[in-house]
Amino acid sequence: MTYAGPIDAHAIAKSGQVYVDVDALQQLLAAFHVQTRWQGSQLAVIDPAPQVSLPSWGVASSAYQVQGDLWPEPWFYGEAGVTSSALYNPLTPVLPLRLKAQDGFSGEAMITVRSLARADEVHRYSARMIHGALDATIRLPFTGLLGVEVDEVLNASTLKLRLLAYSRAIESAAPNLSLQSLGLLQSWFVNHNESPQVAELAASIAHTSPGARALSPQQVDAEIQAISDWASLHIWYNWPAYLHGQVPWQQMTTTLSLHEGVCQDISGVAAGLLRALGIPALVVQGQGLGQLGWGPHQWDEAWDGQRWVVFDPTFDAVYTSDQGIAPPSSVTHHDFDPPPSEFGQTHRGGQIADW
């Protein structure tokens, strides 16, 4: 975290050491909204950063503002007439968003958060805009200096975007989210996993009740397998799009509606349904060995409370024809929780997908 404001440090160099008086240190901490008290030989923090509670999926439908939010968010705007009226606190891992555009756009916004220190730390949220207004709060999943970009999604299947605002100077002092917490977040691609409708569908597939937890790892494994089987059987592979190289982008809600997609969509549905049950799930992107050789591929990992269970609902669907779009002839468990050496024969690479 950096501070570019003025401060009278009264620094004194002595015997190779630099000393700063207590008043100067308290002034610096106050600039970060941290109140302190000098206790003779110790400096005590008496007003830590306010705690802001967000749901596990990481997005709230209003811009939270708390007493410690005193810093203006350093936005640049994609077009004239965009304004921001939210403040934030770098000590808290949340970012309130209150943006207004003159275009009157209603639809989904894509909010991209990326670490400026690590290229592999990227997450994309989805939030609703109404009549040009975005009012939401997001969990910042990474620590340090962050780039944040807000785009209006003009066409979801081609990812045609209009830049609303961006910043390369959002800071978060909180540590990175754990993989388990990342595996519960909502995203632009795995969207609406927090909705009651998706939770009810997931619960019906897993033969449980929405919100019911406190299960053993073995019971969670059974739920993961039920979700994987459902995705294999009910999301039919879009062979024409794949074979002609014309695969559209699809959000999870679109895939659930169409009941068709390719590996990224099938793995996205599985991850979203598991997240709706409260089971952390990650989409992994790497390479798979298919009919045309090695190529880009996506699969899943889910946390059962003790370990990450690896599975591939796309490869577990058995098709006898690659003509048209039709249900698979059967579903196997060959790629559900196999030994790593066996899984590695048809899968390689692999990193967490930014959706």
The β-bridge relationship of strands 236-237 and 260-261 is parallel
SS3 269: helix
* Two structure tokens written together for 21: 């008086």
Q: What's the distance, Cα to Cα, between the start and end of the chain in Å?
A: 27
Spell out the residues 6+ positions from residue 33 whose beta carbon is closer than 8 angstroms to its own.
Answer: 47, 49, 68, 70, 89, 91
Determine the Cα–Cα distance for residues 32 and 128; give it in Å rounded to an integer.
31
Determine the Cα–Cα distance for residues 149 and 139; give it in Å rounded to an integer.
14
Determine the Cα–Cα distance for residues 298 and 288; give it in Å rounded to an integer.
8
The pLDDT, as a whole number, for residue 31 is 67
* Two structure tokens written together for 352: 């967490």
> DSSP string covering 194-259, please?
TSHHHHHHHHHHHTS-TT-----HHHHHHHHHHHHHHHHHHSEE-HHHHHTT-PPP--HHHHHHHT
For the chain of 355 residues, list the mean pLDDT of each consecutive stretch of 10: 48 70 76 70 66 90 82 91 92 94 96 96 97 97 97 97 97 94 96 91 91 83 98 98 94 97 98 96 96 92 97 97 94 98 96 86
- Predicted TM-score (pTM) of this structure: 0.86
Phi then psi for 252, rounded to 5 degrees? -60, -40
The pLDDT, as a whole number, for residue 225 is 98
Residue-range domains of the chain with CATH: 12-47 (no CATH), 59-177 (2.60.40), 189-352 (3.10.620.30)
The pLDDT, as a whole number, for residue 18 is 67
Helix axes 196-206, 263-276, angle to 10 degrees: 90
SS3 264: helix
Q: How many CA atoms lie within 13 Å of 317's alpha carbon, on the beta-carbon side?
A: 27
Helix axes 217-234, 263-276, angle to 10 degrees: 140
The residues with which 84 forms a beta bridge, in sequence order, are: 99
Query: Which letter does DSSP use for residue 343 in this model?
Result: H
